[in-house]
A and B are shown apart, each in its own frame.
Chain A
Amino acid sequence: MLIDLKGIVKDYQVGLEKVHALCTIDLQINKGEYVAIMGPSGSGKSTLMNILGCLDTPTAGIYKLNNAQVSTMNDDELAEIRNREIGFVFQTFNLLPRATALHNVELPLIYNGTPAAQRREMAEKSLEKVGLKDRMNHRPNELSGGQRQRVAIARALVNNPSIILADEPTGNLDTRTGDEIMEICEDLHDAGNTIILVTHEEYIAEHSDRIIRLRDGMVERDEAA
């Protein structure tokens, strides 16, 4: 089992009030699964993704990733896990604006100390997978939205992570470009990658083989697509 969540709770303190973003989520995801997370706005999708991606720690509960207890790790250990195990794809791309596509893709490798030559080779290969090898020296503002998201996917892939987490990856793209991104995701899934994706669109969730629906911080339904 790749991901094992038991009784995950996430509370936010807003003023005097406690907001229960997630209440007791139990969830298992296996290696190679393609999971879509859906639910109304404010239902806790992003909060869950942040916890899955080790960007945030739960208020209570146990999160095991590859059998490692993530919920009790410190900042440095979490950073290492993010670097090694997780590839993020964000709705707003989150590329470094002043860095070239190649450098953006190289970043995760910089933080795990990969030597420069090997780094470049891996980053180029990753860009090739998303069909952007000829644009590797372009900066984000010289690329279209779809191309930017492909760079972000190349960056997420470059380290061969255990999971690719995509929070509304097509949210800022038109339908046609969104479809292109979904095709890439499908290819990645076929190549054996584990993908967890947040979306509002049913037709995008159709691409996955399992849909988890959240409501008010709880799993409302968990079914095969």
Chain B
Amino acid sequence: MKFFSWSEIAEGLGIAFQALKSNRLRTILTTLGIFIGVVVITVIISVIQGLNAYVKGEISFLGADTVYISRMPWTITDYEEYLEYTKRKRITEDHYEFVKRYATLDEAISLEIATRRTVKYGSESLDDVIITGTSEDYVTTQNVVAEYGRFFTPSEVNFRKNVCVIGYEVASILFEDRDPIGERIKIGANTFSIIGVLEERGQVFGQSLDNMTIIPYSVFEKIYGNRRSLEVQVKARNPDILEELIDELIGIMRRARSLGAGEPNDFSINQQSEIMDLYNSITQILYIVLIGIGSISLVVGGIGIMNIMLVSVTERTREIGIRKALGAKNRVIMWQFLVESMFVSAIGVTIGILISMGIAMIVRSATPIPVNISLWVLFLGIAFTVTIGIFFGLYPASKAARLDPVEALRYE
């Protein structure tokens, strides 16, 4: 036995459409809760997804297969903890040498120490340029490429040559169209020859990675002293042995620091995923809170639908009686009202998704966050429509279906 005939299905759709058309304002108002809920949920999901993609992209310059030995962890969530960390001893060039000597799982090891200075070329000058002191292996650990010229060599590091590789932004501001290779610039009071220009690297959280000048760390220490704590950058031979590499480095550093068995590490080994973890734990909370709010408005919206459907059933009691007298079975009446409530919730969800798309477009063009309403959000919308429509329409619809035909026909 067929449950519904096509003509019954079509009749249900037609009735729902007509009923909603003749109550346009009421329908729109009813869907308010639904569409606010949908907007909250889809926008939140999409913004957080966009933020995830953005943050992931931003921190990718750190490299998934590179770890960073430094005095303090990158992510500190507690001020007390921070005060403890400031008591730690600095990481020095000796540690770098020690790690370099004993590490076996690395592909390359570099160190980095940085400050900010004014860079001058002739009458042009650029303030607040990041001056990075490092070794030749920086190219490998940090994945940087000299677009013009070359990076410095081990002997230039050993012999403390005043050579530098300038960032893309420094080159384009100080030299515009001219070729900077071989030119001399002044960093503070010291003169350097430019041997290379890095390719453009873009920004991280709004900070330019191209506003830098790289010099040999030996030169850096000669000029700026060795009182700063430096960072040792170790790239794993392949990403799969990252954990082993970290264990190895902890061992080497503990030896370098001569730590006893019970003493805690007085250094930190950082990696990209740490930032991601912190970030994820923040968005997790946001997710839960906002999806909670969204769900509440969906439920409120659903109750609105139930209410309006009950009104609709009462208003159309006589119509139900007529249809039953002409042979409509209970489930056909039920279907008719379920279609109507699904229609209402579909309208709410559709408006909600359209508004969300608008919001996504605005956020996308006003911020660097790539917010997109993905396909599965649309599927989620359809699922919401059906679920809310059925769940909150069920009671009014079954009330309609159970009406006694004689009573219904007599209803004024």
Contacts and interface: CB of A to CB of B under 8 A. Distances in A.
Interface string B2-16: 100111100100000
Contacts of A90: 409
A55 B325 contact: yes
B325 A82 contact: yes
A111 B331 CA distance: 11
Interface of A: 50, 53, 55-56, 75-76, 79-80, 82-84, 88, 90, 94-96, 98, 107-116, 119, 155
Given A76-B329, A79-B327, A79-B329, A110 B8 contact: yes
Label chain B's interface by main secondary structure: helix
Given A110-B11, A113-B5, A114-B7, A50 B406 contact: yes
Contact of A110 (B7, B318, B321): B7
9 contacts: A55-B325, A55-B406, A82-B327, A88-B326, A98-B22, A107-B323, A108-B326, A111-B329, A113-B7
Nearest to A94: B322
A111 B409 contact: no
B319 A79 contact: no
Contacts of A155: 326
B95 to A, nearest CB: 85
Contacts of B370: none
Contacts of B319: 96
Interface string B306-342: 0000000000001101111111111110000000000
Q: Which 5 A-B pairs have the closest CB atoms?
A: A83-B327, A113-B5, A111-B327, A79-B329, A110-B7
A61 to B, nearest CB: 17
Given A79-B330, A83-B326, A94 B409 contact: yes
A107 B326 contact: yes
Interface centre among A107, A110, A119 (most CB of B within 10 A): A110
B18 interface: yes
Contacts of B330: 75-76, 79
B327 A55 contact: no
A87 B404 CA distance: 18
A106 to B, nearest CB: 9
Contact of B329 (A53, A75, A96, A109): A75
A109 B6 CA distance: 12
A113 B7 CA distance: 6
Contacts of A114: 7
B73 interface: no
A82 B5 contact: no
B63 interface: no
B304 interface: no
Contacts of B251: none
**Taking each of B2, B8, B326, B328, which has the highest tally of chain A beta carbons within 10 Å of its own beta carbon?**
B326
Given A96-B319, A98-B18, A98-B22, A112 B327 contact: yes
Given A98-B22, A113-B2, 4 more contacts: A76-B331, A80-B327, A83-B326, A94-B409
A208 B352 CA distance: 62
Contacts of B327: 79-80, 82-84, 108, 111-112
A109 B331 CA distance: 17
Given A76-B329, A108-B326, A111-B326, A116 B7 contact: yes
A79 B328 contact: yes
A34 B52 CA distance: 80
Given A90-B409, A96-B319, A98-B22, A79 B324 contact: yes
A147 to B, nearest CB: 18
Nearest to A76: B329
A89 to B, nearest CB: 11
Contacts of B405: 55-56
A197 B10 CA distance: 34
A55 B327 CA distance: 10
Nearest to B6: A113
Contacts of A94: 318, 321-322, 325, 409
Given A80-B327, A98-B22, A56 B7 contact: no
B312 to A, nearest CB: 13
Contacts of B22: 98
A88 B409 CA distance: 12
Interface in B42-76: none
Contacts of A119: 7
Name the residue in A75, A79, A90, A94 with the highest tally of chain B Cβ atoms < 10 Å from its Cβ.
A79
A144 to B, nearest CB: 20
A41 B40 CA distance: 61
Contacts of B18: 98
Interface in B330-358: 330-332
Contacts of A113: 2, 5-8
B387 to A, nearest CB: 27
Contacts of B8: 110-111, 113
A56 B321 CA distance: 12
Contacts of B332: 111
